[in-house]
Amino acid sequence: MRIITYNVNGIRAAMNKGFADWAKSSKADIICVQEIKAKEDQIDAGALKKAGYDSYFFPAEKPGYSGVGILTRIKPDNIVTGSGMKAYDEEGRAIRMDLGEYTLVNWYFPSGTSGEVRQDVKMKFLDEVLPWMTRLKEERKNLIVVGDYNIAHTELDIHNPKGNKNTSGFLPEERAWLDKWFTSGIHDSFRYLNPEKVEYSWWSVRFNARAQNKGWRIDYQSVTDPVLPLLKEARHLNEVVHSDHCPVQLDLKL
């Protein structure tokens, strides 16, 4: 099974740049998208269907903002939109798909880059999402938790760790939270398979950052303990350019 997670930074803009054709050629069984920035009736589901995917979306209430979705070639047993946490469901931040004994959760974590108010929202979210995931893990043990976490975990995951030590997305308290996340029976699949490899998933649109590969790794595919033996390969598709992020691909031996 091939799963891709991708912050498309506006699915309509990505579609205008050939997203559907790329999806068809990706050979992915499932593509999880974040920051769709569109309502369902604004998305060309027909083009995605032609590419081979059924699509499920959970948009934000605010137009042109946030939102997540799942594109799948495999018929799901169950789709759940939202997390039951009202503040984050209003922003369209979570969608879940069950496939047999496996559960895939696609999250778009809040960003704190716009100022203190949103940073406070982000930290409150982190405090609440970990126990939420712990409860789900008790119910559904074979979990794959993908998405844009908006946090670079270690110095390997950011091009300028010293210069960004006081920047949202690499703050000590955010990184400490990821330490807790990755010691709670949930593992970073890319880092598990590639302990020392440096690859990024997001680049600033300023300063020619992508061309110089001055990026951050903030998009993850986390898996629970029972899924670890199934991991085959994890990589970043840096050559795919529909967004300021790139797709992150995970292949599993199912």
Query: Can you tell me the mean pLDDT for 163-192?
Result: 97
- Which pLDDT score is estimated for 81? 98
Catalytic residue among 29, 148, 188, 251: 148
**Distance between CA 208 and CA 52 in Å, rounded?**
35
pLDDT tens, position by position, 62-107: 999 999 999 999 999 999 999 999 999 999 999 999 999 999 999 9
Answer whether 8's CB lies under 8 Å from 36's CB. yes
Q: How many CA atoms lie within 13 A of 118 on its CB side?
A: 11
Residue 251 pLDDT > 90, yes or no? yes
3-state secondary structure 5-24: EEECCCHHHHHHCCHHHHHH
- Which pLDDT score is estimated for 216? 98
pLDDT tens, position by position, 96-149: 999 999 999 999 999 999 999 999 999 999 999 999 999 999 999 999 999 999
Backbone angles phi, psi at 3, to 5 degrees: -120, 135
CA angle 90, 92, 98 (to 5 degrees): 125
Answer whether 140's CB lies under 8 Å from 226's CB. no
- Cα 211 to Cα 9, 206, 224, 238, distances in angstroms: 19, 11, 34, 10
Closest by CA to 128, choosing from 179, 166, 83, is 83
The answer to whether 148 is a known catalytic residue is: yes
Closest by CA to 84, choosing from 33, 131, 121, 147, is 131
Q: What are the extents of the domains in the chain? A: 2-252
Residue 254 pLDDT > 90, yes or no? no
CATH of 2-252, one of 3.40.1550.10, 3.60.10.10, 3.40.50.1000, 3.40.50.720: 3.60.10.10
Tokens standing for residue 167: 């920047």
Q: Helix, strand or coil for residue 133? A: helix
**Distance between CA 159 and CA 209 in Å, rounded?**
10
**Distance between CA 213 and CA 59 in Å, rounded?**
31
Q: Helix, strand or coil for residue 93? A: coil
Question: What does pTM read for this prediction?
Answer: 0.98
Beta bridge partners of 107: 94, 147
